[in-house]
Structure 1
């Protein structure tokens, strides 16, 4: 018998008919940076085309997101005031809490997810409370992270996404949310968050560069895969509704392994460094824009059910034709 796989590649119609993986606008979650202050949007130098938005300029962005059919956003706050307890993170009138209410007034059906962490809010830039030796104290950090989660839910967030990587934080936040009447609010946990070099542009965008040291005592070693499975198992046991791998492109094997092991909704974060590399390559004519679609499709093909990506608007335009 004549074996000819090319029969199914003969023209666009047959290629579409047998295509195994699809990328839809409904798969995309768009990160938004909201800063305190007045005035217009401010482009982030290291993330061309991505902006810090004030509350008064935010309507422009929300209108565009809705027009493109993007249904999900992930909020990051950039406060004026920082201290050693990250108190603006759980302030009921903090920048994220205000942004949630603003977005819900502009687009009630837009699904608002909030990043729960402390690094943007602490004076030292770490993701929790420091002890006297400068080590992030796990249990003390949980208390404040729980307050942040509840304050976001009270402001109207649809989902919270803890990214701090403290031990036991999913269970602690689940308990706090339930105790305050928010048992309907899901948790999307940054379960396998690696200590990666690909976060550089984000740290500039969010003003969250550590004042000293690094985050390797709580974020994962880039060399480990079995550890990722253990982290995911713990988060599922503690009540996570969605688990996440971050970054995405250099960790496609982790995405696949988690998807094969656990019957759970799986998110992947195509992070700032991945965006910056591809954006720069396209801008300099080294790649065409199809490379953006190809890279993002690879994340979906690896097993991600949803993708957090700064390319969400670009991809939405492409997918809408």
Structure 2
């Protein structure tokens, strides 16, 4: 194995090795870029904040300096290795579930185990492989766990372009993938930024968004986004948006499902990303009647855990309010009618009213 700490290290050879090692670790694509955010992306981010489109995500404003200056996140960093890992499970009846209002729709990324630990572990393994041949290598892995503007970095590293839904799209793989970053102090050769944009005049993602959260190309109003409302938001879901959520109880994939480029989306080979506990085909009513113990047991190691049981019930109550009026749906709602949480109780009351709009409060 070569030693890259010599006086004339072959960093191009090391970059090629990094790509090979990354593939062996389960990444489908890696690119290398300078540890800086382009001025256009900083400006767009500031405009998004100024317009209040980040909603209650105060940390976006609080850590904006770090987001805009990745060199402040890790001492001595000069390069970012941006990595892509596909997550779309095979044989999940995505569209069918959205068209069955008694079923619960969970975003495809959340059907299996939490991606944070898996990808961070793989990136750390990649860092150690580099360290074995470049002893002066300093590195730090990030997976949606620090104020990193991962999408501009991924575009700069050549992984794809920013779609109108604000996600990175790859011509050969669509957008159903996770991103992770390895910060390093090695002067590796960089990849060409992906400057082309292949969205053209297409507005499919904007047109299909249930709550019209994509307010203009490349700009999402977090306050309307179903992913935010069902995951990040810990309070009531705005009443005017509830009927638009349908059966989406944790996240939303509509903007990706309609994107023409996702006909090239690759199915994941990772067993950890395969659906667990039948969450790809469960009835809303069945999930609504889970006890808190069942919730904690069945969401162990799952992204769903971050929503918490109370918000899980809140989301399901909205889904049940949008479901057909059946004995099973009504029975489930009545069983939670006096649940000892004002948040849940209010959403159950709303759901019941959708089925019996003329009933007295």
Common fold: TM-score over 0.5: no
Larger strand percent: 1
Higher relative contact order (CA 8 A, sep 6+): 2
TM-score, normalization by structure 2: 0.23
Greater C-alpha Rg: 2
TM-score by length of structure 1 reads: 0.25
